[in-house]
Amino acid sequence: MLEIDDLHVTVGDREILHDINLQIGDGETHVLLGPNGSGKSSLLMTIMGFANFVVTSGTIRFNGEDITGLPVHERASRGLGIMFQRPPTISGLKLGKLLEVTSGDHSKEVQEYALYMHMDKFLERDVNKGFSGGEIKRSEVLQLLVQNPSFVMLDEPESGVDLENISLIGHAIEKLLQKDIHLKSRKKSGLVITHTGYILDYLDADRGHVMCDGEIKCHGNPREILKDIQARGYRECMECQQT
């Protein structure tokens, strides 16, 4: 579904991602681990096509199509979706109105998902204005449920979320990634940034990648990598030569 080849990305004058190679197949969920500032969020932003992240070489292909130069909304319309870690507040724009615009006015579906995410009382509130950490995550997941992307990028879905909400968000993400249907019919794929690994209780990720200093240093079983990092930290990863 997603293929990234030899990708180099700069922000301003600085190269922040170096020689990234990544393949994510249909129905697969991959996890991206790495210390703060290693470039994980930047990779997601680059895949989504945000203007600050300039691809200097390499390609991003989605379902066989080179999307490296496509604007953000074109990528969204092809099936890419992203859950923001720190989304902006949009004063005056009601969450319900945003969902109405993005859903093409499927108001029944919006209402159902809003109830499911316990966000029905937020539809008349300005997008992200005064939302707590957990409310922001629920709002992001709600927007993704309405958008229904085929490739889902999640940037630390569990950060700032209490235990009660993590189960709700976890189950919703399961749904987003079709983890509730049989492996063979599963089409949706995902790339998930996590620090704690709590979200893995809901995801059963297929593969993990460790990022350090803007490079992917290793790949492997996500739980094993996480266990390793929990035991020994990222020091060894940072010293590791790329495989």
Q: Which of 70, 72, 181, 240: binder of another protein (CB under 8 A)?
A: 72
Look up residue 242 and give its DSSP letter.
P
Distance (Å, rounded) from C-alpha 150 to C-alpha 223? 24
The contact mask relative to another protein for 124-143 (x = CB under 8 A, - = no) is --xx---------------x
- Contact map string, positions 143 to 162, toward another protein, x by CB under 8 A: x---x---------------
Cα gap 93→41, rounded to integer Å: 26
Least separation in angstroms between CB 113 and another protein:
14
Asked if 88 is part of the footprint of another protein (rule: CB under 8 A), the reply reads yes
The two three-digit tokens of residue 29, written as one number: 């969920």
CB nearer to another protein: pick between 94 and 171:
94
Piece in contact with another protein (CB under 8 A), picked from 8-16, 78-86, 157-165, 168-176: 78-86
Q: Is 93 near another protein (CB under 8 A)?
A: yes
74/48 Cα distance (integer angstroms): 10
In this chain, which of 12, 14, 51, 64 binds another protein, going by CB under 8 A?
Answer: 51
Count how many Cα atoms sit within 13 Å of the Cα of residue 145 in the half-sphere of its side chain: 23
- 103/216 with CB nearer another protein: 103
Does 121 bind another protein (CB under 8 A)? Our answer is: no
As measured in angstroms, the least distance from the Cβ of 80 to another protein is 8
| Shortest distance in whole angstroms from residue 63 CB to another protein | 17
Quick count: other Cβ atoms within 10 Å of Cβ 26? 13
Binding site for another protein (CB under 8 A): 48, 50-52, 71-73, 76-77, 81-82, 84, 87-88, 90-94, 97-98, 101-102, 126-127, 143, 147
